[in-house]
Amino acid sequence: MTFASTAQHTVVLKNGNKVQGVVMELKDDQLTVAVDMKLTTIHMKEVSSIFFNEYVPYDGGLVNTEPEKTMRSGDYVIGYQMKDRKMVRAPKISNGTENKGTVVVIVKINRSGTVTSAEPGAPGSTTSSDYLYTKAKFAAMGARFNEHPKGPIETTGTITITY
């Protein structure tokens, strides 16, 4: 039996299945758990462990619900989304052509805030100009974020540059 729910507690059964819900009671060797607002009874001999307020650490992946923050770089406004991080040095933006458009760059940063990779052309980009993609990639590589020594080894986010 496997149950899924947004839960405060996780009960791990000896057969490896997990029951997620709210532990209501332990009485007479019976564990009562509310799963999706319905009470379920599990005999304690079937239980391997119970986790209360289980913590699931952030893995560094891009979180689309993160609000976009902005920062100025000369005449340009840069948008960025990066969970638990703040841009402390904006990338240097330049455009030696009359090409226009928005380039969204997927960036990965390390714990010290250094951009370790940049891939232009992510969803939201409004141009396919190789020139602007190249300029955006190298500009994004020059951005710097605050340090997060206890954060994920690598954090993924976006930098949006509108030329």
Domain boundaries, the chain: 9-52, 69-162
Q: What stretches in the chain show pLDDT beneath 70? A: 1-7, 53-58
Instruction: Say what the pLDDT of residue 2 is.
Output: 41
Instruction: Say what the pLDDT of residue 100 is.
Output: 95
The percent of the chain in helix, strand and coil, each rounded to the nearest 5, is: 10, 45, 45
Instruction: Say what the pLDDT of residue 51 is.
Output: 82
Calpha distance 19→120 (Å, rounded): 42
The answer to whether the predicted template modeling score (pTM) of the entire model surpasses 0.85 is no
Instruction: Say what the pLDDT of residue 3 is.
Output: 40
Instruction: Say what the pLDDT of residue 58 is.
Output: 67
Instruction: Say what the pLDDT of residue 36 is.
Output: 82
May I ask the CATH class of domain 9-52? mainly beta
Determine the residue type at 107.
V
Contact 83, 58 (CB under 8 A): yes
Calpha distance 67→82 (Å, rounded): 9
Q: Using alpha carbons, list the distances in angstroms from residue 70 to 10, 55, 101, 159.
A: 39, 31, 17, 9
Instruction: Say what the pLDDT of residue 61 is.
Output: 77
Contact 92, 139 (CB under 8 A): yes
Calpha distance 120→161 (Å, rounded): 10
Instruction: Say what the pLDDT of residue 109 is.
Output: 98
Instruction: Say what the pLDDT of residue 20 is.
Output: 87
